Structure 1
Amino acid sequence: MDKSIIQLIKEGEGLTIEFKRTVDSPFKIAKTIVSFANTSGGNLLIGVADHGAIMGVQSELRELQKLEKALVKLIEPELVVQIKTENLDGRKVLWVTVSESDDKPHHTLNEKGERIIYVRVKDKSMPIPRLLLYNGVDTETEKLLATRHVKTLITYLKETDSVTAKAFSKIINISEKRAERMLQDLAARQILLKLSRGKPESFSLKWTE
């Protein structure tokens, strides 16, 4: 069953939910939409403050124009999203639903005209380094990506969201210490993303081929 807008607001911001009081700029909103499409999809609620208070939008038309500009002019490959207007306590909230895309990665243009891919990490939209965009990978990283262990890890991470050193060590049958070193090295090379600051650290894939 689909969640109602009230349930989403109660849940608060996270991997698949983001609140915006208003669309500041098409560039910023494009970043959020792309990060949802490149990760696990998500819901963008416009007219809701960060802490979940329903503010409503002043002009539905203005917000829709900025959304349209983001979708038509700033995002490639093109994305289709669902936009609904909900009336909550007499205030209008725009509900934008973004599905996880089959055509990922999508990139967005920033104010300087640079193409950047964003992914969703917890409740933030994070850029992926350009290194992975144009296959400008140095030879050492290329060699690493071709190794059996790393290939196994990438296949595993395409099916599972994240991995810890303990889990990785079991998958490829090496010591946990060595698995930890490999994961840290891959994170340093911007191939993996460190997810948790706590222990044990977990890592996820930064991009999908």
Structure 2
Amino acid sequence: MSAYIQKLIAQGEHLQLDFKFEISDSKKIARSLVAFANTEGGKLLVGVKDNGVVAGVRSEEEYYMVEAAAQMYCRPQIEFATREWDVDGKKVLEIDIPKSNSGPYSAPDKDGKWMVYIRVHDQNLLANTVLLKVWQMKKRKKGITIRYTDKEKVLLEYLDQNNNITISKFQRIAGISRQVAEKVLVDLITLQIIYMDITEKSTFYLINPDINSDPFSKMKIKSR
């Protein structure tokens, strides 16, 4: 039955797959659990080095550390499933974390502060304020009505001529505060007019390529 795990390992680490040589810190592994749950779900393979070499699980305690992470260091608690696999006489622990439909989940950072993490490529990154507000907006039952003002016009005209924009750039060209810029971005992301490209160093905002030529045609718009 090791062929299944070997195929997974051959994929390398990615958005929905992470290798762990060992688990020695429940708080640290909690960040991986919430990152998967907040994004697309995923799997942890314990007993596998970053380069894909199978080292095997060294202690039975590692399962209990994952359990402690899910119950004590994830808010709310995360449900997960486990399976053990034998790979050439070495045990690999598969931890399966489903995508959350009720998040976001949080875990303590290195200083003990509870933070929301997401999975980006093969990394766990902090969720930014805009994304957190988008999640809050999507939980609302009410529809969204926005005003097509100079702020929205400046942003969309810039993105019509450029591939992407950062929030700081948007602030500068529109002459607005960060709080106002966040509100505009949150509304347009929630309405799927634009989307975020989150990287380790920055976050970029781009026009959604799936919208038609008039991005406001299908929405309730109030002119200023």
Give the TM-score of the pair, scaled to structure 2. 0.63
Q: Is the 8 A contact 2:24 2:62 kept in 1?
A: no
Equivalent residue number for residue 160 of structure 2? none
Report if aligned partners of 2:130, 2:185 keep a CA contact under 8 Å in 1. no
Whether contact under 8 Å (2:195, 2:208) holds in the other structure is no
2:209 paired residue number: 167
Deviation at 1:152, TM superposition (A): 2.5
Structure 2 equivalent of residue 33 of structure 1: 33
Paired residues for 1:1-209 under 5 Å: 4-59=4-59, 61-129=60-128, 138-146=179-187, 149-153=188-192, 165=207, 167=209, 170-171=211-212, 173=214
Cα contact 1:116–1:130 (8 A) shared by 2: no
Q: Is the 8 A contact 2:130 2:182 kept in 1?
A: no
Is the alpha carbon distance of 1:67 and 1:129 closer, same or farther for their aligned partners in structure 2, counting shifts above 3 Å? Answer: same
- State the SS of the aligned residue for 1:6: helix
In the other structure, the counterpart of 1:202 is none
Residues 16 and 140 of structure 1: CA distance in aligned 2, closer, same or farther (over 3 Å): closer
Task: Give SS of 1:85's match.
Answer: strand
Deviations 1:1-45 (A, max 9, x none): xx9222111111101110010013112211111111111110100
Give the letter for the 1:115 counterpart.
W
In structure 1, what is the Cα distance between the partners aligned to 2:91 and 2:189?
Answer: 48
Amino acid of the structure 2 residue aligned with 1:88 = V
Q: Flag structure 2 segments of 5+ consecutive residues without an equivalent.
A: 137-177, 197-204, 216-224
Check whether the contact 2:21–2:55 (CA below 8 A) recurs between aligned residues.
yes
Residues 77-136 of structure 1 show CA distances to partners (whole Å, capped at 9, x for unaligned) of 11100011111111111100011111111111234321111111001011113576588x
Sequence identity, in percent?
29
The structure with more radius of gyration:
2
CA distance in 2, matches of 1:116, 1:29: 14
Residue 209 of structure 2 aligns to a residue whose secondary structure is helix
Alpha-carbon distance in 2 for matches of 1:7, 1:143: 44
Say how many residue pairs are matched.
Answer: 163
Q: What is the RMSD computed on CA atoms of the aligned residues?
A: 3.0
SS at match of 2:191: helix
The whole-number CA distance in structure 2 between the counterparts of 1:117 and 1:100 is: 14
Question: What's the offset of the Cα at 1:157?
Answer: 5.5
SS of the residue 1:4 aligns to: helix
Instruction: Spell out, residue by residue over 1:124-159, the C-alpha distance to the aligned partner (whole angstroms, 9 max, x if none).
Output: 011113576588x8244225534xx454226x769x
Displacement over 6 Å in runs of 4+: none
Whole-angstrom distance in 2 between the partners of 1:131 and 1:151 = 10
Gapped regions of structure 1 (runs ≥ 5): 175-209
